[in-house]
Amino acid sequence: MSVKKAGVLGATGSVGQRFILLLANHPDFEIAALGASSRSAGKKYIDAVTWKQTELLPEIAEDIIVSECTAENFADCDIVFSGLDADYAGSIEKAFVEAGLAVVSNAKNYRREVDVPLVVPIVNPEHLLVIEKKIEIAKAAGEKKPGFIICISNCSTAGLVAPLKPLVDSFGPLDALTTTTLQAISGAGFSPGVSGIDVLDNIVPYIGGEEDKMEWETKKILGGVNAEGTEFKPLTDDELKVSAQCNRVAVSDGHTECISFRFAKRPAPSVEEVKQVLRDYVCDASKLGCHSAPKQAIHVLEAQDRPQPRLDRNRDRGYGVSVGRIRADPVLDFKMVVLSHNTIIGAAGSGILIAEILKSKNMI
Amino acid sequence: MSVKKAGVLGATGSVGQRFILLLANHPDFEIAALGASSRSAGKKYIDAVTWKQTELLPEIAEDIIVSECTAENFADCDIVFSGLDADYAGSIEKAFVEAGLAVVSNAKNYRREVDVPLVVPIVNPEHLLVIEKKIEIAKAAGEKKPGFIICISNCSTAGLVAPLKPLVDSFGPLDALTTTTLQAISGAGFSPGVSGIDVLDNIVPYIGGEEDKMEWETKKILGGVNAEGTEFKPLTDDELKVSAQCNRVAVSDGHTECISFRFAKRPAPSVEEVKQVLRDYVCDASKLGCHSAPKQAIHVLEAQDRPQPRLDRNRDRGYGVSVGRIRADPVLDFKMVVLSHNTIIGAAGSGILIAEILKSKNMI
Amino acid sequence: MSVKKAGVLGATGSVGQRFILLLANHPDFEIAALGASSRSAGKKYIDAVTWKQTELLPEIAEDIIVSECTAENFADCDIVFSGLDADYAGSIEKAFVEAGLAVVSNAKNYRREVDVPLVVPIVNPEHLLVIEKKIEIAKAAGEKKPGFIICISNCSTAGLVAPLKPLVDSFGPLDALTTTTLQAISGAGFSPGVSGIDVLDNIVPYIGGEEDKMEWETKKILGGVNAEGTEFKPLTDDELKVSAQCNRVAVSDGHTECISFRFAKRPAPSVEEVKQVLRDYVCDASKLGCHSAPKQAIHVLEAQDRPQPRLDRNRDRGYGVSVGRIRADPVLDFKMVVLSHNTIIGAAGSGILIAEILKSKNMI
Amino acid sequence: MSVKKAGVLGATGSVGQRFILLLANHPDFEIAALGASSRSAGKKYIDAVTWKQTELLPEIAEDIIVSECTAENFADCDIVFSGLDADYAGSIEKAFVEAGLAVVSNAKNYRREVDVPLVVPIVNPEHLLVIEKKIEIAKAAGEKKPGFIICISNCSTAGLVAPLKPLVDSFGPLDALTTTTLQAISGAGFSPGVSGIDVLDNIVPYIGGEEDKMEWETKKILGGVNAEGTEFKPLTDDELKVSAQCNRVAVSDGHTECISFRFAKRPAPSVEEVKQVLRDYVCDASKLGCHSAPKQAIHVLEAQDRPQPRLDRNRDRGYGVSVGRIRADPVLDFKMVVLSHNTIIGAAGSGILIAEILKSKNMI
């Protein structure tokens, strides 16, 4: 099996560091290029980065010379992972796509484009078909394989939709959904990220842009595609009402969400039926045998005080989402607690798994 | 103006310690008796207590000899504050009431009795009328003044109802209400209270009994009284649906709640109308000139990232509740963030303010 | 008694915010001018500042228009408190002194000048005599009152020398001293200050420049003055060996230090003699009746697990230093734990108390 | 290679849980018996334990029936690991040894016995020779193989001696040593362990018995054995002065120690010589090829702000000790920061590595 050449944009940032950790010793990919700002370009990676991960910097990445984020520098990459800040991602990623490169991005810039898949790989890999279609069309037209971009969802969105998608597949659409998040600080990066004084004996009940992202992205991920398979049709506000309240808390990794939701169809399923669907869920990435796919995509926990970030965030190396306290809700139908690893399933990890799916489908 | 004699039950516990802090140098009360378990009885308070407050143990309390919690030992108290654990509160408080004593209790045991007021003093002091009625009836019958008990609400309930009561008074009843709490560890006491490993880089998404208390108590506090003024008529589940999700977080003091709610009447008021009612609210305790009453019972904060526990919990010495991020909710009518000081307005502080109201109404 | 006009430089920073809190409602001072960068100049203080204190922004400061840090703008100030960053303090403070202003600075820039007092006001107010001398000389020469600068010590130095000075006064000089600090994050300011990820489930065993400051400043503060009373004579490395190891920990306010020390003279005093000297210590500021002076400058705690930052940092409003676990040390003579409030006695609070002393001595 | 049968005493406690994690999938050992209190005996392990590790409970241990801690129940174990509380360890471990069992204990009870090795396996495995001698003597006398006990050192002692031993081997004995510790809460267990309120925005500058343990155990570990090889000869107070100051901080795992020390011989080595010896150190367990032995026992870090618990505690799976900031000390010769994983090298992990050494030497 061939090993694909991978590039990482924003390689010195917190998402970029995670991409590098996950690519080191990966059977499908090898790091071919690392891109960062001009301040870092020309330096060895180990000299350019302030490494802040709890796992050590992989030796394999230490001596790679960081380059600037131009399409030329990544021309021979089969896949490019972008951990760029939104301030830079827009123009750089556009240039990469125009140069025919395949980009998987953690930035928010292109998530709402009608022809860009917004993918949580354990949830809606079928949205990648829009890209497959695009490749087919080009092929049929005798054109060379086009560049494309696939967006990773916002971190807190990923945890939210993970248990909802199998439920919708089994019991039909939701019509109302609320989530209150308790989000980890790693989601805010490291330079400087969340200030210590803001999370020591404190909560910050606001994360800029986050609630809007959750409310919008959920409707695209749980929504469909047009008849031609070329454009996404997010759910409308009439079809699904979503309300998010986001908080930053003193947790390093792992977003906890207290969610409640109502199905459109009456009668609603029972608590036990909901649990059973979640327990039985097998994601496509597992069926495809992808290297990083979780053995169990959704872990249904029965202990009354779980999931907890410190104890549950690393299930299936962070690719498994934990759900606990599934119970009837006096206002909507059900309420439950969802925990997801924000830098794995909510960011870099999902990027890697998307690329594994692309490879298994010969899209890269 | 006469100074009333006050007793404290459970004086060595965390709620008892707060009672003592608030009673020291109080113009209306003097500490006359401190009660604790037989293990502490006979010792000086300073030797019996493991003081864990950030303010120093008041000198005035240091040398008081702790006694056992019998009605005889508190016979000359005008008012008795109970910080007893629920395991002991039931029988002890009953005996005190039967002995003709006036008890203000933080324990949960009698909160659901039909003739026991469940009071957040900045919210529903009018519920004390049931006791006033009881005293009048005894007086008319030529009996001596009866003992009685008044219950302080659960800490997270207090913060929830504080901004809702003025809204209901202005815009009519709610029909749906959700709250997700991020609760401080001081609410769990100190011996041992919440374990460090449970809140270091962690969230515990469960607090035993808390959700049920919030869902039930809210309906009593926002509910009414029968025609005779002798029994409480909590709202029914049909009248108001309440859903609570409770979490323990790494905060010392101050419960944060992300709430959303819907009014029964259409059309709902505007966001600005909601804010104005909250800004204009003056609680009865302030009108009565009670010593501890907040200058401003509800603080409406406009900064997008407030309230925060570290910065806002001490407004009006913990008697002021902060409300921020008031905005339309896609699922119900409104959502907002409420912060209340759990050991002040949510526990001992409310007990003291209740007693101040009792005194100003000549009920003690 | 006249009220002196006070200016604050660096008014929007964390030290500046503390100066403003302490000046509001101060009987000796009124805020006459607030200085900050050109970005803030011209704005109302409330609009220029990101207020991060746990006490609310004093109303009295809200509407003051922030000005740039030029001597002209502070010309009518009797005293100027500087919370400037070291990057700016050098030239600005120099200009202020040359303009004849009296400056009390928290910056490090002039601490090592031979004619600048480095003062912890509960420890070595006698070092202010060098300024008194300077004023006298000018007066004798018929010159107008000269400008001058007085430096507040580094925050961790303040806690270290507080208990040592009375011991040296009683038992003679030390010849060796070690301290390992556990320092609060407020010492690093707020913008951004210490990153959350650095202190969540973590220790950073390094604070840039801190160890050198502690080792040097201790020798100046415990040292003397030349015969003419015009220049400081810090202790030499031969006279006193000092070794500091500094750590940043997850504490908001309050520096804990584990110290050990040896007296030059044999035999050393007993543990009880050491305790007695500390208990009996009354600082000059108390004798002068200064408004902010602690009732008790050194609190000797006997409980084996004290002092603790959360419980003891606010003794005497942060002006009292707590000392616990005084015991024999197998390597040097004694070891003990010292806790001091880093933003009060270790920064702004000491600045205010220095100014109170200056006022009581008619030096401003 | 034969797999040895292992038992775990105190299996439901925090140390016991770590033993089980380390034994699951271990090539040298299989879990044969789990012992706990009579309350747990008879239950499946999964039902008896409140699992608090960040790694999931190994499936292999879930269904093992917990037994009471009697020698009969562990009769067929080749090695027994004890995570018992000191309150129970004394009599139980004694009975096990008398029954001929080989015990490796984390309890403090027998650490000071003259014929019991106190071992940090990356530091002083040669102390196991006293047991080898004991076995030989019994063999020579035609007796059956005797039971024995080997004690794991106190957690903070382990980190302290790790870098000192190779230095003493190279540069001769120390005569003075100081350490100030910043210790993680996992060392105090979980039921309830350290209270949250004690480590939230706080430091506790006291750990019962810890300083005495560190000061005493260091002298045994760095000390020698009598001529017959049957008894330990700890260093005397005259030979080595040790002073410890112990603090509990808000860290989950990983003890940080700020240490300083002086060699007896003059001149002392240079900083670079000290670093080189530490970098070159290879522990015997590595030479023996033990499964858990660290690739690098001592990691010398050059970054000025390292080691940090969150970033460095897991080096070599917690079996590597990190040393940073090695520099000259103004009072003694050198100062440096040492970080060790308290539940691996400081507790259960060392127990497992001791057993691996015993096995490689055919002592079990």
Contact A172, A263 (CB under 8 A): yes
Q: How far, in Å, CA of C9 to CA of C15, rounded?
A: 10
Mean pLDDT of B312-338: 98
Q: How far, in Å, CA of D246 to CA of A206, rounded?
A: 38
Contact A254, A345 (CB under 8 A): no
Closest in C204, C250, C335 to D250, CB measured:
C250
Contact A92, A18 (CB under 8 A): no
Domain that holds residue C98: 4-154+348-360
**Contact at CB, D258 and C250, closer than 8 angstroms:** no
Counting residues of chain D whose pLDDT is more than 70, the rounded percentage is 100
- For position B115, which CATH number holds? 3.40.50.720
Residue C1's pLDDT is what?
Answer: 62
- Asked if residue A345 has pLDDT above 80, the reply is yes
B contact set with A (CB within 8 A): 176-178, 180, 182, 197-198, 200-206, 215, 237, 241-243, 245, 247, 249-252, 256, 258, 260, 304-311, 324-325, 329-332, 335, 337
Short-list C55, C53, C15, C54, CA closest to C36: C15
Mean pLDDT of D243-272: 98
Task: Looking at chain C, list the stretches that DSSP marks H as alpha helix, in order from N- to C-terminal side.
Answer: 14-23, 45-48, 59-62, 86-98, 129-140, 155-171, 196-199, 210-221, 271-280, 284-287, 309-312, 348-360
Instruction: Provide the pairing of β-strand C102-105 with C79-82.
Output: parallel
- Asked if residue C314 has pLDDT above 90, the reply is yes
Residue B153's pLDDT is what?
Answer: 98
Taking only the tens place, the pLDDT of each residue in C257-288 is 999 999 999 999 999 999 999 999 999 999 99
Q: Are residues C94 and C187 in the same domain?
A: no
Cis preceding linkage at C205, omega within 30? no
* Locus of tokens 């960011």: A347
Chains B and D form CB pairs within 8 A to the count of: 53
Mean pLDDT of B27-45: 97
Backbone dihedral angles phi then psi of residue D174, each to the nearest 5 degrees: -85, 155
Q: How far, in Å, CA of D210 to CA of B39, rounded?
A: 29
Contact B328, A212 (CB under 8 A): no
* Locus of tokens 């060790």: D340
Considering only alpha carbons, which residue of chain B is nearest residue A215?
B330
Q: Are residues A140 and A228 in the same domain?
A: no
Taking only the tens place, the pLDDT of each residue in A25-81 is 999 999 999 999 999 999 999 999 999 899 999 999 999 999 999 999 999 999 999
* CA angle, A208 then A212 then A218, to 5°: 135
Q: Are residues D118 and D216 in the same domain?
A: no
Q: Are residues D119 and D175 in the same domain?
A: no
**Contact at CB, B56 and C310, closer than 8 angstroms:** no
SS (H, E, C) C87-123: HHHHHHHHHHHHCCCEEEECCCCCCCCCCCCEECCCC
Candidates B26, B127, B255, B341; catalytic one? B255
**Contact at CB, B311 and C52, closer than 8 angstroms:** yes
Q: Are residues C221 and C123 in the same domain?
A: no
* CA angle, C55 then C59 then C64, to 5°: 120
Residue B189's pLDDT is what?
Answer: 81
Amino acid symbol at D350: S
Lowest mean pLDDT across A70-79, A198-207, B184-193: B184-193
Q: What interhelical angle do C155-171 and C271-280 show, nearest 10?
A: 110
**Contact at CB, C56 and B200, closer than 8 angstroms:** no
Neighbors of chain C with 3 or more C-beta pairs under 8 Å: A, B, D
Q: What interhelical angle do C155-171 and C210-221 show, nearest 10?
A: 30
- Asked if residue C364 has pLDDT above 90, the reply is yes
Q: Are residues A244 and A194 in the same domain?
A: yes
Neighbors of chain B with 3 or more C-beta pairs under 8 Å: A, C, D
List the structure tokens of D130.
Answer: 């006293």
Q: Are residues D162 and D290 in the same domain?
A: yes
How many other β-carbons are positioned within 10 Å of the β-carbon of residue A18? 25
- Asked if residue B1 has pLDDT above 80, the reply is no
Contact D21, D53 (CB under 8 A): yes
Considering only alpha carbons, which residue of chain A is nearest residue B245?
A258
Contact D262, C249 (CB under 8 A): no
Residues sharing a CB contact under 8 Å with residue A222, sequence separation 6 or more, in sequence order: A161, A164, A165, A168, A173, A174, A235, A240
Is A258 labeled as catalytic in the residue annotation?
A: no
Considering only alpha carbons, which residue of chain C is nearest residue D215?
C330
Closest in C185, C200, C201 to A197, CB measured:
C185
Which residues of chain B does A206 touch, with a Cβ-Cβ cutoff of 8 Å? 304-305, 325
Taking only the tens place, the pLDDT of each residue in C201-259 is 999 999 999 999 999 999 999 999 999 999 999 999 999 999 999 999 999 999 999 99
Contact B46, B54 (CB under 8 A): no
Q: Please list, residue by residue across D95-118, b when 16 or more beta carbons sit within 10 angstroms of its beta carbon and e when fewer do.
A: ebbeeebbbbbbbbbbbeeebbbb
Candidates B77, B155, B246, B290; catalytic one? B155
Mean pLDDT of C329-333: 98
* Locus of tokens 């740039």: C68
Average pLDDT, chain B: 97
Residue D191 confidence class, pLDDT cut points 50, 70, 90 = confident
CA dihedral D9, D13, D18, D19 (to 10 degrees): 0
Taking only the tens place, the pLDDT of each residue in A146-199 is 999 999 999 999 999 999 999 999 999 999 999 999 999 998 887 779 999 999
Q: Are residues D165 and D136 in the same domain?
A: no
Taking only the tens place, the pLDDT of each residue in D67-109 is 999 999 999 999 999 999 999 999 999 999 999 999 999 999 9
Which residues of chain B does D194 touch, with a Cβ-Cβ cutoff of 8 Å? 195-197
Q: How far, in Å, CA of C329 to CA of B237, rounded?
A: 67
- Asked if residue C191 has pLDDT above 90, the reply is no
Contact B16, B83 (CB under 8 A): yes
How many other β-carbons are positioned within 10 Å of the β-carbon of residue C234? 19
Which residues of chain B does A177 touch, with a Cβ-Cβ cutoff of 8 Å? 331
What sign does the dihedral A184-A190-A194-A197 (CA atoms) show?
Answer: positive
Q: Which residue has the higher pLDDT, A1 or C315?
A: C315
Residue A316's pLDDT is what?
Answer: 97
Q: Are residues B92 and B180 in the same domain?
A: no
Amino acid symbol at B244: A
**Contact at CB, C180 and D180, closer than 8 angstroms:** yes
Q: How far, in Å, CA of C70 to CA of C96, rounded?
A: 7
Task: Looking at A36-154, list the stretches that DSSP marks H as alpha helix, in order from N- to C-terminal side.
Answer: 45-48, 59-62, 86-98, 129-140
Neighbors of chain D with 3 or more C-beta pairs under 8 Å: A, B, C
Q: How far, in Å, CA of D255 to CA of B92, rounded?
A: 46
A contact set with C (CB within 8 A): 52, 185-186, 190, 192-201, 250-252
What sign does the dihedral A304-B174-B126-B184 (CA atoms) show?
Answer: positive
- For position D178, which CATH number holds? 3.30.360.10
Average pLDDT, chain A: 97
Short-list C317, C310, C307, CA closest to C343: C317
The C-alpha of B312 sits at a distance from chain C's nearest C-alpha, in angstroms, of 7
Mean pLDDT of C51-58: 93
Closest in C54, C200, C315 to B310, CB measured:
C54
Instruction: Provide the pairing of β-strand B255-263 with B334-340.
Output: antiparallel
Q: Are residues C214 and C238 in the same domain?
A: yes
Which residues of chain A does C52 touch, with a Cβ-Cβ cutoff of 8 Å? 197
Residue A310's H or E segment, with its range, is: helix A309-312
List the structure tokens of C189.
Answer: 């300011």
Q: Are residues D276 and D181 in the same domain?
A: yes
Contact C338, C163 (CB under 8 A): yes
Considering only alpha carbons, which residue of chain C is nearest residue B53?
C311
Strand order in the sheet with D148-152: D67-68, D29-36, D4-9, D79-82, D102-105, D148-152, D118-119
Residue D333: exposed, middle, or buried by beta-carbon count in 10 A (0-12, 13-18, 19+)? buried
For D148, what's the count of Cα atoms within 13 Å in the CB-facing half-sphere? 25
Q: Are residues C248 and C274 in the same domain?
A: yes
**Contact at CB, D202 and C258, closer than 8 angstroms:** no
How many helices (H) does chain C have, and how many strands (E)? 12, 15
Q: How far, in Å, CA of C111 to CA of C153, rounded?
A: 7
Mean pLDDT of B245-271: 98
Task: Looking at D207-308, list the stretches that DSSP marks H as alpha helix, in order from N- to C-terminal side.
Answer: 210-221, 271-280, 284-287
Average pLDDT, chain D: 97
Mean pLDDT of B341-347: 97
Short-list B202, D316, D56, D58, CA closest to A316: D56
Candidates A255, A290, A299, A341; catalytic one? A255
Choose, out of D179, D200, D202, the residue to mutate when testing the contact with C (most C CBs < 10 Å): D202
DSSP letters along C175-215, please?
EEEEEEEEE-GGGG-SSS-SBHHHHTT--B---TTHHHHHH
Which residues of chain B does A260 touch, with a Cβ-Cβ cutoff of 8 Å? 178, 243, 245
**Contact at CB, D198 and B195, closer than 8 angstroms:** no
Which residues of chain B does C252 touch, with a Cβ-Cβ cutoff of 8 Å? 310
List the structure tokens of C216.
Answer: 């040097």
Taking only the tens place, the pLDDT of each residue in A237-261 is 999 999 999 999 999 999 999 999 9
Residue D45's H or E segment, with its range, is: helix D45-48
Which residues of chain D does A200 touch, with a Cβ-Cβ cutoff of 8 Å? 201
Residues sharing a CB contact under 8 Å with residue D80, sequence separation 6 or more, in sequence order: D6, D7, D8, D9, D74, D96, D101, D102, D103, D104
Q: How far, in Å, CA of C220 to CA of C242, rounded?
A: 12
Q: Tell me the C-alpha to C-alpha distance, in Å, between residue A309 and each of A338, B249, C284, D54.
A: 10, 11, 53, 9
Active site residues per annotation of D? 155, 255
DSSP letters along D135-157, please?
HHHHHHTTPPPPPEEEEEPPHHH
- Asked if residue A271 has pLDDT above 90, the reply is yes
* Locus of tokens 């970054």: D303
Taking only the tens place, the pLDDT of each residue in D222-254 is 999 999 999 999 999 999 999 999 999 999 999
Backbone dihedral angles phi then psi of residue C334, each to the nearest 5 degrees: -135, 155
Total domains in chain A come to 2
C contact set with D (CB within 8 A): 176-178, 180, 182, 197-198, 200-206, 215, 237, 241-243, 245, 247, 249-252, 256, 258, 260, 304-311, 324-325, 329-332, 335, 337
- Asked if residue A1 has pLDDT above 70, the reply is no
